[in-house]
Structure 1
Amino acid sequence: MNDQLEIKNTLHTELISKFFHALSNPTRLKIARKLLDEERNVGQLVGELQLKQSQVSNQLACLKDCGFVTSRQEGKFVYYKVTDERVREIIQLATNVVSDNADYINSCTKL
């Protein structure tokens, strides 16, 4: 029984790590932050972030596959938005922790 619990905990830890990995990419994080308050389509994100359409589309696909954003189609446009309030809270909490520890994080050589 103990082995099963250990396997479950390991899998859970790996999923949590994968969750944070999805937001560890600067482009994905920028996109997620843009989608916190207002839905946008790929073209709008391309213009706002000055990125290539393929980059934005690929990162949106990752965010959508991982459940960070949802989409809806209107005519020929697909609009994306962060709809889970917990994602907003996690990004805000991370922003606060970084603000409080910016010097330490910036000087960290182990990452």
Structure 2
Amino acid sequence: MAIDPEGGRCVSADIAAGISPAAALFHSLADETRLRIVRRLARGEARVVDLTGELGLAQSTVSKHLACLRDCDLIDFRAEGRQSFYSLTRPELMDLLASAELLLAATGHAVTLCPDSGTQPATAADGPSELDHDLARLHEQTGDHITGEAVS
């Protein structure tokens, strides 16, 4: 998934209309650069200049990925004078990433993308996905209710 060059959005409006909130969350985390930024912000606030220096990336690249993560409400910033300090809005995101690493270790990193299927996003016309059904069962077991709203 590419960042929309016009707005730096990680999920463009026409794609967002057809994918589940869980899929949108994982799309936002599907880029190595965004994961590196999230991991860095888990250690504390950072400015764009800090991120470019620490990650060895161009300012425009960092800014576009920060815009994507902000669109997904995973990070935010606070202004101090002419500087912006970015931070995670949802620290529990690190728990999700830690769980993913445990899963990858348990499967011997066998998770791969199938080249023939599963590469096209599901649309609302396709009906609920298997992931949606699994999430609904999980939420029923825990007493939570799925509202179809974006993950926050």
TM range (shorter): 0.7 to 0.9
In the alignment, structure 1 residue 49 sits paired with structure 2 residue 74: no
Structure 1 counterpart of 2:35: 29
Find the counterpart in structure 2 of residue 72 from structure 1. 78
Please list, as runs of the form range in 1=range in 2, the aligned pairs for 1:1-111 lying within 5 A after superposition. 14-105=20-111, 108=112, 110=114
Gaps of 5+ in 2: 1-16, 116-152
Counterpart secondary structure, 1:64: helix
Secondary structure of the structure 1 residue equivalent to 2:29: helix
Mapped to 2, the partners of 1:12 and 1:88 lie a distance apart of 27
Kindly provide the amino acid, as one letter, of the partner of residue 46 in structure 1: T
**TM-score of the two chains, using structure 2 as the length reference:** 0.59
Cα pair distance change 1:67/1:74, threshold 3 Å: same
Query: Post-superposition, which runs of at least 4 consecutive aligned residues in structure 1 deviate over 3 A?
Result: none
Letter in 2 for 1:59: H
What is the identity, as a one-letter code, of the residue corresponding to 2:101? T
**Percent of residue pairs identical:** 32
For structure 1, list consecutive stretches of 5 or more residues without a partner in the other structure.
1-10
Q: 1:2-51: CA deviations, max 9, x gaps? A: xxxxxxxxx89622101110001111111011101211010000001101
TM-score between the two structures when normalised by the length of structure 1: 0.80
Q: Residues 99 and 66 of structure 1: is their aligned pair in 2 closer, same or farther, counting only changes over 3 Å? A: same
Letter aligned with residue 37 of structure 1: R
> What is the rounded CA distance, in whole Å, between the counterparts of 2:21 and 2:113 in structure 1?
25
The AA in structure 1 aligned to 2:100 is A
Contact 2:52 2:58 (C-alpha < 8 Å) held by counterparts? yes
How far does residue 109 in structure 1 lie from its aligned partner after superposition? 5.4
